[in-house]
Amino acid sequence: MNEVSLRAHLNELEAKGMNTRGVLRKLLQQYCRENNLPAALEILDKCKKEGVFLSAGMKAAIFDLHVKLGELEAAELALVDLNKSFPNFTLDEFKVIDFATLMVYKNRINPAFDLISEQSKNR
């Protein structure tokens, strides 16, 4: 389904008072793939207002979006939230490497090496 179809389906589910979590998750994934931060944050806000459970994957997608957009501080906050909510969740290697790369670009070299070292112990 494309964004228009997903939005229409979301409106239909909301009008009927049905569970919207699956559609919200798909919209969030699509917006993250498209690097559309405002739309992704809108979906996150909607999830919070409606009390929709945010899975580790949903939180990891937001973290990754911040990394892709070069928003180090926001990425760090998203990672803290992810680790707090899901302490046993393991980010995939690509997300870790991308995050460490962003840290290096932002002149945070030692923390980047610490991150890689810490993650390698967990794998």
- The predicted structure's pLDDT at residue 123: 67
- Regarding whether 75 and 31 lie in a shared domain, the answer is no
- Do 38 and 91 lie in one domain? The reply is no
111: CB partners within 8 A, 6+ apart? 103
Judgement on whether residues 67 and 121 belong to the same structural domain of the protein: yes
| Whether 106 contacts 74, CB under 8 Å | no
Say how many domains are in the chain: 2
Q: pLDDT tens-digit profile of 22-73?
A: 999 999 999 999 999 999 999 999 988 888 889 999 999 999 999 999 999 9
Section 96-112 average pLDDT: 96
Average pLDDT over residues 87-99: 93
> Domain range holding 36?
1-54
Domain boundary among the residues 54, 70, 85 is at: 54
Query: Whole-model pTM above 0.75?
Result: yes
